[in-house]
Amino acid sequence: MSRAEAFWNAAKERILVKDGAYGTMIQRLGLDEDGYRGELDLDRAQRGNNDLLNLTRPDAVCGICQAFVDAGADVLATNTFNANAISQADYGAEAYVADINRAAARLTREVAGPDRFVVGAVGPTNKTLSLSPDVENPAYREVTFDEVVACYEQQVEALAEGGIDFVLVETIFDTLNAKAAIVATKNIERRIGRDLPLMISMTLTDLSGRNLSGHTVEAFSTAIAHARPLTIGLNCSFGAAALRAHLKTIAASAPTLVMAYPNAGLPNDLGEYDEAATDTAAQVSEWLDEGLVNIVGGCCGTTPEHIAAIAAACEGATPRAPASPDPAMNLAGLEPMRLAS
């Protein structure tokens, strides 16, 4: 049985629980510059480069991962949200990208053991393909599509070498960036001769239900349907209560599993998250009562306490049944278009 089949079978039996936020937990460590840098010879300051800790503080990364396992997580994401050459260029650490991803996958695999699933976290990068950063030149782009594909190829290949089960393309604010990640993953599949099922997760930038590139959740789902993802869903964005209506839209039509992992509410004026674990779990319980999800977890601000509370809420809950495939032709612009036969 493949790992994807095992995952699907498990998700049919019960709600699976994803882990929470590495960034939140790393901030709690209070590391200084040397704590991030370790013995590496890098010209720029590294404080805040959470991904580098896979090399310089593997004990800390394993400790965080183990805390989420102890809280009840079935699905563990690697600490690699910004472990790509575009994002690491801010730290002058591009040369370490492959090493960071391989190490992260191996660390997570070690903690996960054979009974949990390891997903390679692939973030959106800090560049956008759909929008110009120059208001005076709408046609300008800081990167090309091919450059972003190549960037993702390097990351995905290293994650695969480290032993991940699936590729998680998450916090998608630009649908075109997600398409580049999909192309990259398919290219690596062909290169290494191994399936790398995709988990795809959109983030909303306003309460109307659109991402930064302007796509509604329906249009986004249509735009990435060709990738046949193992899961589709939402993460980050706002708190669970604000995501409920948009998650309901995805759940009604997705012919695959739905995964969602919200922030612990919205940050306060200091950028910190105050929402208690019990409050997050209570909001997620409303998703469970409506049968909207197969996998739930936490994003920014969520701790092992949040994941434990969510896991407790999931006990005995009925997993969502995937929708039947839509036989009509579906097209996507910023909004979807359905052409019935």
Q: How many CA atoms within 13 Å lie on the side-chain side of 113?
A: 6
Phi/psi region, residue 48 (left: phi>0; alpha: psi -120 to 50; beta: rest), is left
d(CA 253, CA 325): 8
What CA–CA distance (Å, rounded) separates 152 from 270?
A: 32
Structure tokens at 156: 């995905």
User: Does 236 count as an annotated binding residue?
Assistant: yes
Question: Does the annotation flag 300 for ligand binding?
Answer: yes
65 annotated ligand-binding residue: no
d(CA 300, CA 280): 12
Residue ranges of the binding site: 236, 299-300
- Binding residue positions for Zn(2+): 236, 299-300
